[in-house]
Amino acid sequence: MDGCTASHPTAAADAKTLPSHWEFTCDFEVDYESEENAQVVYSALAVDKELQPDKVKRQMSVSNGKLFVHFEAVEARFLRASFSAFMDVLTLATKTIEEFGPGMEL
Q: Please report, for the domain that includes residue 54, its CATH number.
A: 3.30.310.50
Q: What is the three-class DSSP state of 22?
A: coil
Q: Hey, which residues does 31 pair with through a beta bridge?
A: 66
Give how far the C-alpha of residue 42 lies from the chain's centroid of Cα atoms, to the nearest Å: 10
Is residue 5 included in any domain, yes or no?
Answer: no
Is residue 8 included in any domain, yes or no?
Answer: no
State the pLDDT at residue 20.
58
Range of the domain at 76: 22-99
Is residue 85 included in any domain, yes or no?
Answer: yes
Is residue 94 included in any domain, yes or no?
Answer: yes
Is residue 50 included in any domain, yes or no?
Answer: yes
State the pLDDT at residue 4.
57
Low-confidence ranges of the chain (pLDDT < 70): 1-20, 102-106
| Relative orientation angle of helices 76-100 and 35-46, to the nearest 10 degrees | 130
Is residue 83 included in any domain, yes or no?
Answer: yes
Number of structural domains found in the chain = 1
State the pLDDT at residue 39.
94
State the pLDDT at residue 29.
95
Is residue 12 included in any domain, yes or no?
Answer: no
